[in-house]
Amino acid sequence: MGLGYIGLPTAAMFAVNGIQTLGVDVNPQVIEILQRGELHIQEPGLRTAVEAAIKSGNLRVSSKPAEADAFIIAVPTPFYEDKYGEYNGRKYKLADMRAVTSATEAITPSLRKGNLVVLESTSPPRTTIDIVAPILEKSGLKAGEDFHLAYSPERVLPGQILRELLENARVIGGTTPEGAQAGRDLYSVFVKGEIITTDATTAEMVKLMENTYRDVNIAIANEFSRLADRFGVDVWKAISIANLHPRVKILRPGPGVGGHCISVDPWFFVEAAPDLAALIYQTRQVNDAQPHFALDLVRRAAGSLKGRKVAALGLAFKEDVDDLRESPAVELAALLQKEGALVKAFEPHKPAARFDGFETVLTLEEAWRDADVIVLLVGHAEFKGLEARQVAGQTPARILVDMRGVLNREAWQAAGFRVFTLGVGSTADD
């Protein structure tokens, strides 16, 4: 259930390993694209895997579920854009579980004794037992007695999804030990990594802990970038030196935190226990505010942004992927436009993407052809390899803002650019 970044690769993995698989999605455009033999998402190796799965006859796609031995729910769990919770004056975001409930309701009529249902969607603690189980039990069957119910979160990295689906350790949390074992038996069809069984709520918490841990560590890196800017320090040099300590591993700062996991999942803890998750809440405040700190850097570099032409390089939430979900680069591009800049953004991995808040273009040259300022938002390989003097010959822009700390400042300065780098204070090179 769900043929997105996780559902489609998972369906393909089962199919190429000999399992009759029905991929279901409520978006008719997704079904139409897949039935034409094309893909709606980019991921290394995915096209080959899906083509092999369809050619084997083991993978079909449909807009409706059917009877099966096992059902896997892999639908999005974003947060609401217009609903908030509040605790002691602190507003926090709420998980939008409508896709999970809808998918669960859709499979309930097809549920039979002995079936296995697995929720993969990242969810607040107790979702499996408090939300999914009661819906399924409307079938007249009892979870843990008549059918197995488990939670098994995806734990993969965009750009390496297929390899990590196979090789990463997998956690299966059952509402009963038998449910966990049934999930283990299912995923062992293709998973080569260790499969750990536990209870459903522990498995839900494991997933949230993993991404919250990373969010907290990114927050301290982002806060270090602000402090370095204030004190006239080069944060990139400082981090590289600090990381020489054998027990220190500071991550790289940036213009924010994006993607469907790290920028979303910590809120599920805050929603579930707002009285306890104070550090997690503050972490989200730091990372959600980072695009505004990045905006201020562009403002300082360019002066007034009103009427200034800005070439924004990259819109994905991280380098070398096409995933734009919750991307701080998209947010920053929109903020620049809102400040009066005329933004032309280029995303090499999804050049046809369109947004209401700013203009997107199909080539780098079109983005910077008449620009006043170039802003590197994402450290894609295509951008890291740019030759400064060659770029200088293609654009009138002579201001470069590097939000990722990946460009050689000396080379771009030698080519005639004034270079501003996130986390590098104005006296850092003195």
Which sequence positions are flagged as catalytic? 207, 261
- d(Cα 264, Cα 237) in Å, to the nearest integer? 30
Task: Kindly state the tokens that stand for 368.
Answer: 């910077």
Closest CA to 194 of 215, 168, 220: 168
- d(Cα 180, Cα 177) in Å, to the nearest integer? 5
- d(Cα 367, Cα 345) in Å, to the nearest integer? 6
Closest CA to 348 of 335, 366, 369: 366
- d(Cα 119, Cα 128) in Å, to the nearest integer? 7
236: left (phi over 0), alpha (psi -120 to 50) or beta: alpha
In sequence order, what DSSP letters do the residues of 125-185 get, joined into one string? TTHIIIIIHHHHGGGS--BTTTBEEEE------TTSHHHHHHHS-EEEEESSHHHHHHHHH
Question: Taking the CB of residue 397, how many other CB atoms lie within 10 A of it?
Answer: 25
Spatial neighbors of 110 by CB under 8 A, at least 6 apart, are 65, 66, 67, 68, 71
List helix spans (H) across 273-342: 278-302, 328-338
- Tokens 């083991």, residue located: 58
Residue 401, CB-side half-sphere exposure with 13 Å CA sphere: 30
3-state secondary structure of 237: helix
Overall residue count recorded for the chain in this entry = 430
